[in-house]
Structure 1
Amino acid sequence: MQESVHRAVRELIAEQGRDGLTVPLVAARAGVTPSTVYRRWGDLQELLSDVAVERLRPEGAPEDHGSLRADLGAWTEQFLEEMASSAGRAYTRDALAGDPDGSNAGQCSEYAAEQLRILLERAAGRGEAVPALEEAMDVVVAPVMYRTLFRPGPETEVEAKKAGAAGSGAVADYARRLVERLLPG
């Protein structure tokens, strides 16, 4: 049932946007009653939040590029692009808006922490010196989320980068600078 309701939300948003989205519309598309949706999620915002948390889950382990610096650089740029995209910003806002107890924010934070944990453990296994996980979260993840949500600028103009616009190198440069702060030298 959860998957059919989530799928209905994603399809309806893709077809008509979020403005006209209602619980009865989602329920009809999912083949369940509105009361089923209300019982499980409480209201539309909590449903959107649940869908957002699921959409923000990484699809797999980060790629191995042979060194912590290369792994972290590629991961940071990809993370920045995903979070700063229109969809990423909308999902993040939805995840937080329907999160009265902070559990969704905690889950999203854990997704990023798990990805970094994989990179750090992989590097340690190669004999590289690695920073603490929380330091990586503070130096890499926190600034990306802050810039994405509260202070967007050239560093978060991922649509411009995708379009190949002039100045779009700012996204990659910002990701590189964050990695340099964490791994100086």
Structure 2
Amino acid sequence: DLPETPLLLLEFHGSDNAVVEQAEMFGSIAEDAGGFDFATTGTAEERNKLWKARHDLYWATLQLRPGAHGISTDVCVPISRLAEAVTGAQAKAAALGLLAPIVGHVGDGNFHSLVLIDLSDADEVARAEEFTAYLADEAIAMEGTCTGEHGIGQGKMPYLVKELGAAVEFMAAIKDAFDPLGIMNPGKIFKR
């Protein structure tokens, strides 16, 4: 029953009085910045209801383009660069003609994008790959990381050397020492 508008969820921790004070201060700041419908709660049940919107975001996002496949990616930048990174990501997605909603953890500079594409459209797949490459390159250029939560796996391996340089060879040597046969998580992170 939430309105279909951008949504910002926050949690404040501390004593009861400190939490009330922080929430009131934030409500005032949000209102001054054009925010509206600021709601607070102190009960776990109401808190869980508010956070359900965040937890259901993946499924809600897929409804923006029924039948599309969602390609999830994330990056993390210094908090001081977060607004710039998100704005740049939105502009890049628009320039590429992609639908790529963004959700973030603004407290740590991590944000996710779910790029909605038709996997049978090679051009659209290529544009989605260009978008995810842009995000990784921009995050590294902003002294962030090409991945905030989802790891390097396969899709972000090309960015690991860009981000960490020579340290990657040491990481690979450690993995080889523990897994000389390459049977643990084969083909991921370090391809040998």
TM-score of the aligned structures, taking structure 2 as reference length: 0.25
More helix by share: 1
Q: Which has the higher relative contact order, 1 or 2, with Cα contacts under 8 A spaced 6 or more apart?
A: 1
Q: Considering only CA atoms, is the larger Rg found in Structure 1 or Structure 2? A: 2
More strand by share: 2
